C-alpha cells in the first residue's frame, strides 16, 4: 500500500523550497507515494507548489496581529478554528500516514488537527531560534528535525534529530565556471562581483543601501548582480537609470556595473558568479550559503518573529563564517563593508572555509527517511 503524506506550511520561499525538497525526496525513496500540501490562502505556496507538480489545499489562516491584545485577533482566531475544522475534513478524506510541518501559518492548524486525529507529526524547524508555533507543536510531534545545535532549549531533547535544512537540488548541480556564470548575466568575466539578494520579496534596507551606493561601486570598478524583489523593482531600476543618465557616472558612457532585476530565476548561476553575497539571514539562504561555501555579509531582517534572523546570522558570524551587519546600520556601512571584503581574497577564503564546516548534506533525504519511518510505525499500530 502506497504511503500518503501531508506537507504543511509556507508563506515565504524559505518555507516552500524545503517543503518541496522534502516532498521530492519522499518521492525519490517511494515513487508511488501520494503527497498533499496544505497552505494558507493567498500566500506564495498556492502558486509555487503546483508549479513543482504537487496538489495543494488552502486554509483561511492568518498570523496574529501586533499588539496581541488587538481586537483584530478575534477574527484571526476564528479563522484558525475554521482552518482546523477544514483540515480535519481533508485529513479524513486523504487519510495520511504522517504529517510534516515546515513552518508558516498553515502548519499550526494542520498539525494540531492531525495530532487530535491520531496522525503522527514531524516538525522541520529551520531557524536557530524556534518560533512560538513550533514550540507549541513540538509537544505533539514524533520527531523534530533541526539545523542548529542547542535546540533542546526549545524542544524535548529525545525527539530532536540534527538534519540541516534542505535546499534546492539545482543549486548543487551547477558546474559552470565563475566566468561562464557572469557572462550568462551579461557581466564581465574577470571583474569582482557582488550578489545582492533580499529574500523572495525583497528587502527595503538592503535595496536602499545599494541604491545610494551605485557611485561607490562604479568608482571601485565592482559589478553588482542585484535582486531587488518584485515590490521594489521599478523604483530600483529607475534610480539606476537616472544615475547612469546623469553626469555623475565616473566611468562615463561605459556599460553599467550595477544590474538591478526583480527576480533571478537561475540562482545556481547567480551564486556561482559571485565573489561575495549580501543576503538576509533566513534559514534557507543560510543553508544555501553553507552548502555552496560562499563568503557573505548577512543583514538580518528585524521584521520577523522572535528576531530569529539575527540569531541565525550570529550563529555564523560568531564562528567566523560570515560578516554580520545590523539592519539599522546597513544604509551607512553595507556598501563600504562589501567593497572592503570583495577585494580581500584572503579573508574571503577564510570565510568560505569556515562556512563550509557548517553545511549539512542530503538533508532532504535524511528528513524523508524520518518521515517514512514515522509513517511505518503508525501503520504497524
pTM to 2 decimals?
0.85
Cβ atoms of 267 and 194 within 8 Å: the answer is no
Handedness of CA 343, 345, 346, 348 (dihedral sign): positive
Q: Is the pLDDT of residue 221 over 60?
A: yes
Mean per-residue pLDDT for 276-288? 93
The predicted structure's pLDDT at residue 23: 97
The predicted structure's pLDDT at residue 245: 85
SS3 362: coil
* 274 grid coordinates: 559571485
Q: Which of 149, 183, 174 is nearest to 357 (CA)?
A: 149
255-274 per-position pLDDT tens digit: 799 999 999 989 999 999 99
More confident residue, 77 or 352: 352
Q: Is the pLDDT of residue 200 over 70?
A: no
Highest averaged pLDDT of the listed ranges 83-87, 252-256, 351-355: 351-355
Percent of the chain whose predicted confidence (pLDDT) is above 70 = 97
Mean pLDDT estimate for the chain: 91
Distance CA 352, CA 275 (A): 10
SS3 136: helix
The predicted structure's pLDDT at residue 151: 93
pLDDT band at 253 (very low <50, low <70, confident <90, very high): low
The predicted structure's pLDDT at residue 79: 86
SS3 percent helix, strand, coil of the chain, rounded to 5, is 50, 15, 35
Phi and psi, residue 279, nearest 5°: -150, 155
344-379 per-position pLDDT tens digit: 999 999 999 999 999 998 999 999 999 999 999 999
18-41 per-position pLDDT tens digit: 999 999 999 999 999 999 999 999
* 90 grid coordinates: 481533508
Percent of the chain whose predicted confidence (pLDDT) is above 90 = 73
More confident residue, 73 or 298: 298
The predicted structure's pLDDT at residue 104: 84
Q: Is the pLDDT of residue 107 over 60?
A: yes
Q: Which of 53, 125, 43, 117 is nearest to 87 (CA)?
A: 117
Cβ atoms of 298 and 277 within 8 Å: the answer is no
pLDDT band at 90 (very low <50, low <70, confident <90, very high): very high
Q: Is the pLDDT of residue 70 over 90?
A: no
The predicted structure's pLDDT at residue 75: 87
SS3 221: coil
The predicted structure's pLDDT at residue 62: 82
Distance CA 192, CA 151 (A): 38
Amino acid at each position: 500500500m502506497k504511503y500518503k503524506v501531508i506537507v504543511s506550511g509556507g508563506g515565504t520561499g524559505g518555507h516552500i523550497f524545503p517543503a518541496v525538497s522534502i516532498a521530492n525526496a519522499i518521492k525519490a525513496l517511494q515513487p508511488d507515494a501520494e503527497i498533499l500540501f496544505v497552505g494558507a490562502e493567498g500566500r506564495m505556496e498556492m502558486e509555487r507548489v503546483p508549479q513543482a507538480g504537487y496538489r495543494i489545499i488552502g486554509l483561511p489562516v492568518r498570523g496574529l496581529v501586533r499588539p496581541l491584545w488587538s481586537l483584530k485577533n478575534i477574527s484571526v482566531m476564528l479563522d484558525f478554528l475554521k482552518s482546523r475544522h477544514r483540515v480535519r475534513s481533508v485529513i479524513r478524506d486523504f487519510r495520511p500516514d504522517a504529517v510534516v510541518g515546515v513552518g508558516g501559518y498553515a502548519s499550526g492548524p494542520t498539525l494540531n488537527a492531525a495530532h487530535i486525529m491520531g496522525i503522527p507529526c514531524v516538525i522541520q524547524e529551520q531557524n536557530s531560534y524556534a518560533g512560538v508555533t513550533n514550540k507549541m507543536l513540538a509537544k505533539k510531534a514524533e520527531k523534530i528535525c533541526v539545523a542548529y545545535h542547542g535546540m533542546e532549549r526549545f524542544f524535548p531533547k529525545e525527539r530532536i534529530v540534527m538534519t540541516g535544512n534542505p535546499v534546492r537540488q539545482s543549486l548543487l548541480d551547477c558546474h559552470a565556471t565563475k566566468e561562464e556564470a557572469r557572462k550568462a548575466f551579461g557581466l564581465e568575466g574577470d571583474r569582482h562581483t557582488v550578489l545582492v539578494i533580499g529574500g523572495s520579496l525583497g528587502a527595503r534596507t538592503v535595496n536602499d543601501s545599494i541604491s545610494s551606493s551605485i557611485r561607490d561601486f562604479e568608482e571601485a570598478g565592482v559589478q553588482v548582480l542585484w535582486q531587488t524583489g518584485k515590490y521594489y523593482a521599478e523604483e530600483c531600476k529607475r534610480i539606476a537609470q537616472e544615475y547612469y543618465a546623469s553626469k555623475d557616472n565616473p566611468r562615463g558612457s561605459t556599460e553599467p556595473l550595477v544590474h538591478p532585476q526583480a527576480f533571478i530565476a537561475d540562482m545556481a548561476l547567480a551564486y556561482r558568479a559571485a565573489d561575495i553575497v549580501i543576503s538576509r539571514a533566513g534559514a534557507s539562504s543560510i543553508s544555501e550559503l553553507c552548502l555552496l561555501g560562499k563568503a557573505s555579509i548577512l543583514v538580518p531582517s528585524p521584521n520577523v518573529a522572535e528576531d530569529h534572523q539575527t540569531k541565525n546570522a550570529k550563529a555564523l558570524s560568531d564562528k567566523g563564517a560570515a560578516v554580520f551587519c545590523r539592519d539599522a546600520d546597513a544604509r551607512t556601512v553595507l556598501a563600504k563593508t562589501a567593497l572592503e571584503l570583495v577585494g580581500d581574497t584572503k579573508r574571503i577564503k577564510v570565510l568560505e572555509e569556515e562556512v563550509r564546516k557548517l553545511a549539512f548534506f542530503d538533508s532532504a533525504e535524511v528528513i524523508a527517511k524520518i518521515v517514512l519511518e514515522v509513517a511505518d510505525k503508525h501503520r504497524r499500530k
